[in-house]
């Protein structure tokens, strides 16, 4: 899909397309944390060994953490003379348990980093694979920056959250359960007192996390929007400058950046408040334990050692609640990111099934009563019937928006016809696998897209098996041998920035050479309207004539010379064929073509 088409879409507000966007926006708002978490867990299931290893060290480390304070209680009681035993043994045991717990903490970190990187790698690959499978209309309807944001920011978020929060979450949950149990066993009255503060903590967490979640979603959406703007502005920078749009663009950008800052501040404030709030609650519980513990000790219900253990347990109990409360905010962000990633993964990929296009040297294309609408109820192509005989050249002309590009979109099956049929040698393309169809059709669009790779790789894009000899011959035929040889490293020169380091005319010549290498049966040319110097213009014209020679070609023609040379001229008007015939016969008719000719071509030499 050309940048022009994408831009057109960005400018339009089409009901049918909006439905897709609305559907997308709905996924943004989706509130099914459970389902998303379940889905994230399935990724961990794919890493069973690592996940099991991590769980084992988490469990063991947590048990050590729970056991150590009870040893401390014994030691204190021994010192206070309330218990008998060898103090040094207890202290050594305590030291070993603390060391073991530290080793487990270390291993836990290593396992979780490995685990998160593996999971994220899988997600990243799946997402990229899915993007490569998506139909062209998906990317037409979504901002490229938004898709990129899912691929980078959202996945990064998931990755960092998994590696940082997951171990804390596991060990925290276990610590809470284990500590609560042991506190109950020591003194249920004191334990209940400590647990009462948990409800306070949970209520505060719920209120604050709701806010964090809301604002972090907003932040991610705005970040996607901001990325989209930057991507569009960087790629369309010459247009921005040419129209003196820098100020307006900057204002728009600043407005979005402003909203993003506000959402970011709110998210960070609410997630930042969580920690101190939890600290405060846990300190209150601390004071209460000291007071009530002292009272119970005086009453002879518990020993001094138990109070000392309780103080450690209460802290231990509060710490994971604190941590979980803090990572809850991050988790919300990661879940929102995961939802956005899953939304793309759930998009339906292109149907690639179908038969092969019959192998024959011939290629006649027929359109029979084709009708098509981008948006339901607003037909863009109506009753389109046309035969392009094998080896002939048909020029599509017509006012802007008359449907010329759409015909190309339909022939390549970027979009499917609503009714009617398109056949190649009598074989309906609906039954043909898209890969087979596209292998037989090459396109040279006016907005030439080259990729950041060597000239050779770019030329081989449509035929990976092409030999150096074939590549050189194609370069020769498309008049770009000389220009390639003049490049610093010839065919091995790296094109940077999608070909930004060579001129527009040179890019067009390379695109024609690329089509030559692909050697398709059917050729689609969207003739460039842009001005290049006369010599390059002539080279492009010659190259185009050569590549069309003897090939079934459909040209969206802008130059009179191309139109005149065509076997058939088809004049399109609002999605229908208004007239067709040769240049002379159409001029003689004094109809639409005549009008077009008089307004656009008369007086111009090309
Ligand atoms: N992807 C799209 N989604 C929705 N509407 C579209 C899309 N592409 C084109 N249209 C609409 O379909 C109609 C035909 O557009 P098309 O691009 O086929 O015209 P065109 O003849 O190629 O124009 P131009 O000469 O300007 O390239 C126009 O009204 C256009 O607004």
Nearest CA to ligand 1 atom 24: 400
- Output the residue whose Cα is nearest ligand 1's atom 12: 380
The CA distances from residue 489 to 86, 364, 448, in Å, are 81, 41, 22
Q: What is the mean pLDDT of each run of 10 residues along the chain (606 residues)?
A: 39 33 35 80 86 89 88 86 81 92 89 87 92 88 83 83 78 86 87 76 77 86 87 81 82 91 90 81 78 85 84 78 73 84 90 82 90 92 94 90 92 92 93 90 82 89 89 89 88 80 84 89 80 76 84 86 87 92 90 84 53
- List the structure tokens of 269: 């404030």
- Torsion, Cα 581 586 588 590, to 10 degrees, reads 140
Residue 150 CB partners (closer than 8 Å, separation 6+):
127, 224, 337, 340, 341, 344
> Helix (H, G, I), strand (E, B), or coil: what is residue 562?
helix
Which residues form the pocket of ligand 1, taking CB atoms under 6 Å from any ligand atom? 5, 8-9, 12, 14, 17, 140, 374, 380, 398, 400-406
Distance 481 CA to ligand 1 centre (A): 35
Pairing relation of β-strands 441-444 and 393-398? Answer: unpaired
3-state secondary structure of 419: strand
Q: What span, in angstroms and rounded, lies between the C-alpha atoms of 507 and 83?
A: 88
Pick from 504, 498, 499, 560: which is nearest to 532 by CA?
A: 504
Which residue, judged by its Cα, is nearest atom 16 of ligand 1? 403
CB 137 within 8 A of CB 101: no
The residues, any chain, with a CB within 8 Å of residue 124's CB and separated by 6 or more, are 151, 155
The Cα–Cα gap between 187 and 173 comes to: 21
Per DSSP, the chain holds a count of helices (H) and strands (E) of: 22, 10
Q: Are 173 and 325 in contact (CB under 8 A)?
A: no
Using CA atoms, how far apart are residues 519 and 461, in angstroms rounded to an integer?
Answer: 11
Q: Measured in angstroms, how far is the CA atom of residue 447 from the centroid of ligand 1?
A: 15
Closest CA to 158 of 39, 272, 56: 39
Strands of 434-499, DSSP E:
441-444
Residue from 380, 408, 418 whose mutation best tests the ligand 1 pocket (most atoms within 8 A of CB): 380
What distance in Å separates the CA atoms of residue 246 and residue 248, rounded to the nearest whole number? 6
Shortest-distance Cα residue to atom 30 of ligand 1: 401
Q: How many angstroms separate the alpha carbon of residue 243 from the centre of ligand 1?
A: 23
Tell the residue nearest (CA) to atom 19 of ligand 1.
401
Which amino acid residue places its CA nearest to atom 31 of ligand 1? 401
**Rounded Cα–Cα distance for residues 395 and 100 (Å):** 79
Distance 401 CA to ligand 1 centre (A): 5
β-strands 576-581, 419-424: how paired?
unpaired
Which value does ipTM take for this structure? 0.97
Could you tell me the two tokens for 292?
């009530």
Nearest CA to ligand 1 atom 28: 401
Ligand 1: which of 16, 136, 401 to mutate, judged by most atoms within 8 Å of the beta carbon?
A: 401
pLDDT value of position 10: 35
Centre of ligand 1 from the C-alpha of residue 574, in Å: 10
Distance (Å) from CA 5 to ligand 1 centroid: 7
Residue nearest to atom 6 of ligand 1 (CA): 374
- The crossing angle, in degrees rounded to 10, of helices 48-79 and 304-345 is 170
Q: Across the strands, what pairs with 379?
A: 373
Which value, in Å, is the radius of gyration of the alpha carbons in the chain?
A: 34
User: Best substitution site from 402, 411, 524, 555 to test ligand 1's pocket, by max atoms within 8 Å of Cβ?
Assistant: 402
Q: Cβ distance 443 to 556 under 8 Å?
A: no
In contact, 499 and 519? CB cutoff 8 Å: no
In this prediction the pTM is: 0.69
Strands 427-428 and 576-581: unpaired
Rounded to whole angstroms, the maximal C-alpha distance in the chain is 120
- For 187, half-sphere exposure in the C-beta direction (CA atoms, 13 angstrom radius) is 27
- Going along the chain from its start, the domains and CATH numbers come out as 32-345 (1.20.1560.10), 354-440+522-532+549-606 (3.40.50.300), 452-519 (no CATH)
Residue 373: partners with Cβ closer than 8 Å, 6 or more residues away: 16, 379, 380, 418
Q: Which two tokens stand for residue 195?
A: 């647990």
Q: In the block, which residue shows the tokens 């962000």?
A: 333
Cα(139) to ligand 1 centroid in Å equals 16
- Record the tokens describing residue 160, joined without a space: 């960092």
- CA angle, corner 253, sides to 251 and 257, nearest 5? 115
User: Ligand 1 centroid to 122 CA: how many Å?
Assistant: 38
Ligand 1 atom closest to 16 (CA): 4
Residue with tokens 């599509």: 396
Provide the pLDDT for residue 22.
34
* C-alpha of residue 88 to centroid of ligand 1, in Å: 85
Ligand 1 atom at minimum distance from 396 CA: 21
Cβ atoms within 10 A of the Cβ of 246, count?
A: 12
Residue nearest to atom 10 of ligand 1 (CA): 374
Instruction: Give dist(CA 158, CA 153) in Å, integer.
Output: 9
Contact at 8 Å (CB) between 100 and 326? no
Residue 526 Cα: closest atom of ligand 1: 27
Query: How far, in Å, are 179, 190, 286, 306 from residue 290 at the CA level?
Result: 17, 10, 6, 11
Our measurement of the distance from residue 251's CA atom to the centroid of its chain's CA atoms, rounded to an integer in Å, reads 26
> From the CA of 136, how far away is ligand 1's center (Å)?
14
Question: Which uninterrupted H or E stretch holds 578?
Answer: strand 576-581
Note the pLDDT of residue 16.
Answer: 33
Tell me, in angstroms, the distance from the centre of ligand 1 to residue 140's CA.
Answer: 12
């Amino acid at each position: 899909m050309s940048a022009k088409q994408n831009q057109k879409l960005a400018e339009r507000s089409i009901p049918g397309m909006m439905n897709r966007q609305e559907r997308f926006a709905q996924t943004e708002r989706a509130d099914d944390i459970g389902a998303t978490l379940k889905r994230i867990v399935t990724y961990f299931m794919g890493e069973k060994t690592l996940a099991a290893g991590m769980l084992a060290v988490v469990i063991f480390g947590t048990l050590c953490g729970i056991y150590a304070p009870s040893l401390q209680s014994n030691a204190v009681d021994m010192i206070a003379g309330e218990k008998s035993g060898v103090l040094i043994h207890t202290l050594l045991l305590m030291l070993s348990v603390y060391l073991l717990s530290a080793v487990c903490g270390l291993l836990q970190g290593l396992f979780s980093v490995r685990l998160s990187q593996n999971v994220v790698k899988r997600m990243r690959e799946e997402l990229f694979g899915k993007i490569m499978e998506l139909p062209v209309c998906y990317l037409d309807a979504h901002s490229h920056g938004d898709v990129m944001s899912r691929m980078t920011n959202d996945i990064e978020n998931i990755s960092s959250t998994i590696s940082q929060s997951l171990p804390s979450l596991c060990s925290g949950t276990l610590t809470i359960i284990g500590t609560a149990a042991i506190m109950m066993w020591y003194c249920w009255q004191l334990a209940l007192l400590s647990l009462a503060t948990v409800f306070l903590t949970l209520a505060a967490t719920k209120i604050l996390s709701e806010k964090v979640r809301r604002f972090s979603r907003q932040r991610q959406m705005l970040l996607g929007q901001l990325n989209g703007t930057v991507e569009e502005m960087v790629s369309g920078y010459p247009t921005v400058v040419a129209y003196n749009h820098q100020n307006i663009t900057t204002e728009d950008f600043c407005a979005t950046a402003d909203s993003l800052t506000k959402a970011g501040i709110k998210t960070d404030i609410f997630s930042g408040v969580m920690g101190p709030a939890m600290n405060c609650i846990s300190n209150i519980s601390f004071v209460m334990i000291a007071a009530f513990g002292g009272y119970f000790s005086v009453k002879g219900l518990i020993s001094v050692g138990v109070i000392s253990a309780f103080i450690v347990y209460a802290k231990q109990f509060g710490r994971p609640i604190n941590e979980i409360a803090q990572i809850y905010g991050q988790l919300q962000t990661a879940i929102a990111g995961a939802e956005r990633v899953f939304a793309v993964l759930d998009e339906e990929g292109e149907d690639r099934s179908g038969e092969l296009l019959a192998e024959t040297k011939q290629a006649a294309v027929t359109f029979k009563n084709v009708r098509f609408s981008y948006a339901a109820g607003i037909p863009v192509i109506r009753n389109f019937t046309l035969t392009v005989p094998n080896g002939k050249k048909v020029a599509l002309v017509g006012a802007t928006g008359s449907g010329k590009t759409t015909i190309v979109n339909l022939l390549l099956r970027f979009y499917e016809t609503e009714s009617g049929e398109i056949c190649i040698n009598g074989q309906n393309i609906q039954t043909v696998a898209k890969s087979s169809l596209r292998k037989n059709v090459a396109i040279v669009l006016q907005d030439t897209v080259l990729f950041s790779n060597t000239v050779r790789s770019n030329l081989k894009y449509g035929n990976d098996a092409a030999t150096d000899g074939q590549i050189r011959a194609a370069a020769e035929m498309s008049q770009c041998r000389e220009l390639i040889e003049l490049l610093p490293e010839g065919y091995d020169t790296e094109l940077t920035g999608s070909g930004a380091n060579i001129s527009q005319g040179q890019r067009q010549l390379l695109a024609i050479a690329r089509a030559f290498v692909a050697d398709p049966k059917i050729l689609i040319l969207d003739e460039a309207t842009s001005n290049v110097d006369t010599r390059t213009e002539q080279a492009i014209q010659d190259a185009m004539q050569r590549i069309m020679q003897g090939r079934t070609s459909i040209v969206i023609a802008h130059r009179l010379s191309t139109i005149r040379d065509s076997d058939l001229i088809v004049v399109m008007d609002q999605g229908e064929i208004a007239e067709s015939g040769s240049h002379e016969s159409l001029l003689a008719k004094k109809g639409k073509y005549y009008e077009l000719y008089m307004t656009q071509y008369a007086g111009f030499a090309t």
